[in-house]
Chain A
């Protein structure tokens, strides 16, 4: 099992081993934005499951506007969108929900409702690519909100449960569907 590493060739073009496309197990990488599930509160620190080999720690001060008196309202079982501050093989991974300037920039607690599910890491990369057809086609269907974590987790929230589940099923099926099959499925939905 290899680690998520890409090497740059001499001409500056990134090169990466393609075996990581179908990978499911996530390896924490510093700077990656991920969706985590709070599993425990241990004093001043939350334990967060990120889908890696060990749990990550998240300090309650690592939220925007958090002080010792003004603690964030995070409970066990909540979803967190954060990024790795420390992620190497020698230390316990550490998450934060603020960027380097102290602002949240979209990180923190993910709201109530919605649906969380897991996909392969290669699909996440495909979905996060600049001009992803899947995302563009889905965005035409109905209003919804989407959070993509580099650890293979996706959170979807739409107005109704049915709409949410439709989006979830399409995203899960994108792993093995071809573009034509996807367009047919979407045509059936909107038609």
Chain B
């Protein structure tokens, strides 16, 4: 819907508006720092947390056993105990799990280390074996040498 003639004008207007908005935002960024004062007064409409009131349903001398069970649940802070038990359970499990995980971790590392040592060690052994073999050949028979050299060099056909 934008006409060609108005493009540049509207773009300039939009840019100016954006600049205004940005500059206003800059202002707003400065102001909240001053306004953020934590108030020490908390307004609470219900009396429940103020006085730790009990649960409203009560039963005495076994008149209503379900309500008496409810009373124990809601009033004796069982929720807090359950939360503590859960935390302890989680802590125990996490400790055990951590120990297991550490053991498994070390075992895996050892296995990998051994395999690494094995593969690298074999390479070294081969080279050493080769050099040891070559030394032994040099000290030992020379017959094998020309044959090896003969095998390596091009054999001229004998007349």
Contact surface of A with B, Cβ cutoff 8 Å: 3-10, 14, 16, 29-33, 81, 105-106, 125, 128-130, 135, 138-139, 142-150, 157-159
| Alpha-carbon gap, A5 to B53, bound state (A) | 16
B52 interface residue, CB < 8 Å from A?
Answer: yes
Give the contact stretch, choosing among B19-27, B42-50, B88-96, B98-106. Answer: B42-50
Overall SS of chain A's interface: loop
- Residues on A with C-beta less than 8 A from B47 are 4, 6, 16, 125, 150
Q: Could you say which of B54, B60, B62 contacts A129, with CB atoms under 8 Å apart?
A: B54
Decide: A128 and B54 in contact? CB cutoff 8 A: yes
Bound: A22/B63 CA distance, A: 31
**Which A-B residue pairs are the 4 nearest by beta carbons?**
A143-B61, A139-B60, A128-B53, A143-B63
A144-B54 in contact (CB<8A) = no
Cβ of B75 to closest chain A Cβ, rounded Å: 8
- Apart from the given pairs A4-B46, A129-B51, A159-B63, 14 other A-B contacts in the complex at a CB distance below 8 Å: A7-B42, A8-B40, A9-B40, A10-B40, A16-B50, A29-B45, A32-B48, A105-B73, A130-B53, A130-B54, A144-B60, A145-B64, A150-B47, A157-B63
A91 CB to closest chain B CB (Å) equals 15
> For the complex, what is the distance from the CA of A144 to the CA of B67, rounded to whole Å?
11
Closest Cβ neighbor of B67 among chain A residues: A145
Please determine whether B60 and A138 come into contact, CB atoms closer than 8 angstroms: yes
Please determine whether B43 and A7 come into contact, CB atoms closer than 8 angstroms.
Answer: yes
> Residue of A at shortest CB range from B50?
A14
- Most chain A CB within 10 A, of B51, B60, B63, is at B60
If A10-B40, A81-B57 touch, whether A4 touches B63 (CB-CB below 8 Å) is no
Shortest distance from the beta carbon of A64 to any chain B beta carbon, whole Å: 13
A-B contacts at CB below 8 angstroms, number: 100
Residues of A within 8 A of B54 (CB): 128-130
| B43→A147 contact, CB < 8 A | no
Q: List chain B residues, Cβ under 8 A from A3.
A: 45
Note all chain A residues with C-beta closer than 8 A to B64. 145
State in angstroms the CA–CA spacing of A105 and B69 once bound together: 10
A149 touches B45 (CB 8 A): no
Task: Pull 28 A–B residue pairs with CB atoms less than 8 Å apart, ordered by A.
Answer: A4-B45, A6-B45, A8-B41, A8-B42, A14-B49, A14-B50, A14-B51, A29-B46, A31-B48, A33-B56, A81-B56, A106-B55, A106-B57, A106-B70, A125-B47, A125-B51, A129-B51, A129-B54, A130-B53, A130-B54, A135-B58, A142-B61, A143-B59, A143-B62, A145-B59, A146-B59, A146-B60, A158-B63
List of A residues within 8 angstroms of B45 by Cβ: 3-6, 29-30
* A5 with B67: CB separation less than 8 A: no
Residues on the B chain within 8 Å of A145, using CB: 57-60, 63-64, 67
> Which chain A residues border B41 with CB–CB below 8 Å?
7-9
A81 vs B63: C-alpha distance when bound (angstroms): 18
**Is B74's beta carbon under 8 Å from chain A?**
yes
What is the CB-to-nearest-CB distance from A30 to chain B, in angstroms, rounded to a whole number?
Answer: 7
What residues of B have a CB within 8 angstroms of the CB of A6 in the complex?
Answer: 43-45, 47, 50
Contacts of A106 in B (CB 8 A): 55, 57, 67, 70, 74
